Amino acid sequence: MFILIDKQRNMNFIYQQIYEGIKDNILKGRLKANEKLPSKRSLAEQLNVSINSVSFGYEQLLAEGYIYTIERKGYFVENITEILQRGNLFKDKLPEDLKEDPVNRDGWLSLSHMASDISFFPFKEWMKCQERAVQSYKRELSEIAYSQGPYEVRDTICHMIALTRGVNCEPEQIVLGAGTQLLVGQLMELISKDSVIAVENPGYSRFYQTLKKMNFAVHPVSLDDHGIKMAEIKATKANVVFVTPSHQFPTGKIMPISRRIELLNWTAEGDNRYIVEDDYDSEFKYETDNIPSLQSLDRNHRVIYMGTFSKTLLPGLRISYMVLPPDLLREYREYYANFMQYSNSLILFTLHYFIEGGEYARHVKKMNHLYERRRKLLIADLRRRFQDEIKIEDVPAGLHFLAHFQTEKSYREIEERALQLKLEIYSMRRFMLKKNVNKENSISLVLGFANLKEENITEVVERLYFVFH
């Protein structure tokens, strides 16, 4: 048997070289099935290595099933089928189209609606809360969390949203999850497969895609001044409606009480009707108080409330939740009896202390002031630069607003120019779930300001101006 032992190489131990050498001989067919291997002693002599090294090598081969042993007779090669390989194209290499290019954001400026500002995040306080979580929840951290997430955390969130959002619920009704998209997926498993779903158009394409991939009949429904159109919902024969009443995504409109009541009454007029209220950024209101949730008006347990900490804390933390009405909670418990909660418990217990100690409320309050300033400055600068070429949907809420630009250019041209000028922008194309609502000579952008430093506002507006001119 030919095995090359390199004693100078300190990368691999001798036993590993013996193991590799014999394995290679077996896989290449140079050692045949049931062939006897040399005894440990004789191989050790032949290779001039210790018996121990041969012994370790043989043990590893034995453990992986390359060889077998018969007592007092020695070691033999297992009967191993040759590994089939079709073609030789991408033997060791990942095909080019699957390669990931590390994104280089040097020199870029962003008007993304998806990021929040990390520079004001109170990491010190957060880490203190994490320390407390480690101290107080040792047992919980060493176990798998209850499928809806730890009770204490749900209890804390429950109290908070009762206070800030008027949500009527008990901790039992809350399901924690790492992202609302996943929670929507979980929720929709509980809803009858022949359901028809209405979503806002323009709207949140990630939910729309999720619902379509789950094979639901999904209808984008257009908006009027009050929000999603009731007549269109009725025409689609939908029984589930997804809405963002606090701050329509992405147009920013706040749904007035009249439409809220119409929606709630619609659920009472038929069977198995539900409203999914996506309350993704309601914590940011600049000239008014918080507006109570739609769920708070629901008398018939028809609203599923969805909340997230992506906007108030950081999207990277991945903490979201939903509040299920009792009938769906019962379904949930049955359907997900074997489900393992997938959120990081340490982060959840940290959040629990962060809220309890008042840090969360303080942070949201601080960010409200900060974001309000940024919003005002950006809008003022945009108006100054674009004059009457821009129309802004100026609703003092949320972390983004919609702006319409007068231009002859197409969406594609604008997006390509922004790319060239290293400006991250998102156009209405991302949110139009059904095409063809393009106004002529006008481009609409969703402009996010949460992660825009004040000192960069002038430069951002200047770049945007060059994108259009």
Binding site for ligand 76U (CB under 6 A): 114, 179-181, 204, 206, 244, 249, 278, 280, 308, 310, 315, 320, 430
- Considering the complex, what minimum distance in angstroms separates the CB of residue 188 from ligand 76U? 15
Closer to ligand 76U by CB, 40 or 154: give it: 154
Rounded Cα distance between 294 and 305, Å, is 8
Could you tell me if residue 70 is left (phi over 0), alpha (psi between -120 and 50 degrees) or otherwise beta?
beta
SS3 89: coil
Closer to ligand 76U by CB, 385 or 430: give it: 430
- Considering the complex, what minimum distance in angstroms separates the CB of residue 310 from ligand 76U? 3
Closer to ligand 76U by CB, 43 or 317: give it: 317
- Is-cis flag, bond preceding 250, omega within 30? yes
Token pair listed for 405? 């630009």
Q: Are 68 and 76 in contact (CB under 8 A)?
A: yes
Q: What is the number of alpha carbons within 13 Å of residue 266 lying toward its C-beta?
A: 24
Q: Is 127 exposed, middle or buried (0-12, 13-18, 19+ CB in 10 A)?
A: exposed
- Considering the complex, what minimum distance in angstroms separates the CB of residue 460 from ligand 76U? 19
**What residues contact residue 418 under an 8 Å CB cut-off, 6+ apart?**
424, 425, 463, 464, 467
- Considering the complex, what minimum distance in angstroms separates the CB of residue 57 from ligand 76U? 50
Closer to ligand 76U by CB, 234 or 430: give it: 430
Task: Kindly tell me the number of DSSP H helices and DSSP E strands found in the chain.
Answer: 15, 16
Closer to ligand 76U by CB, 148 or 180: give it: 180
Q: Quick one: the chain helix, strand, coil %, rounded to 5?
A: 40, 15, 40
- Cα 222–Cα 227–Cα 230 angle in degrees, nearest 5: 70
- Considering the complex, what minimum distance in angstroms separates the CB of residue 162 from ligand 76U? 20
Q: What is the number of alpha carbons within 13 Å of residue 360 lying toward its C-beta?
A: 21
- Considering the complex, what minimum distance in angstroms separates the CB of residue 110 from ligand 76U? 13
443 phi, psi to nearest 5 deg: -120, 135
CA distances from 324 to 182, 321, 402 (A): 15, 10, 31
Closer to ligand 76U by CB, 46 or 209: give it: 209
Closer to ligand 76U by CB, 181 or 438: give it: 181
- Considering the complex, what minimum distance in angstroms separates the CB of residue 450 from ligand 76U? 10
- Considering the complex, what minimum distance in angstroms separates the CB of residue 205 from ligand 76U? 7
Q: Is 269 exposed, middle or buried (0-12, 13-18, 19+ CB in 10 A)?
A: exposed
Rounded Cα distance between 208 and 431, Å, is 10
Closer to ligand 76U by CB, 309 or 332: give it: 309
- Considering the complex, what minimum distance in angstroms separates the CB of residue 54 from ligand 76U? 56
Closer to ligand 76U by CB, 54 or 432: give it: 432
Closer to ligand 76U by CB, 62 or 364: give it: 364
Q: How far is CA 25 from the centre of its chain?
A: 47
Residue corresponding to tokens 């896989």: 27
181 phi, psi to nearest 5 deg: -60, -45
Rounded Cα distance between 408 and 406, Å, is 7
- Considering the complex, what minimum distance in angstroms separates the CB of residue 356 from ligand 76U? 21
Closer to ligand 76U by CB, 249 or 386: give it: 249
Q: Which of 179, 123, 219 is nearest to 316 (CA)?
A: 179
Determine the length of the chain.
Answer: 469
- Considering the complex, what minimum distance in angstroms separates the CB of residue 26 from ligand 76U? 49
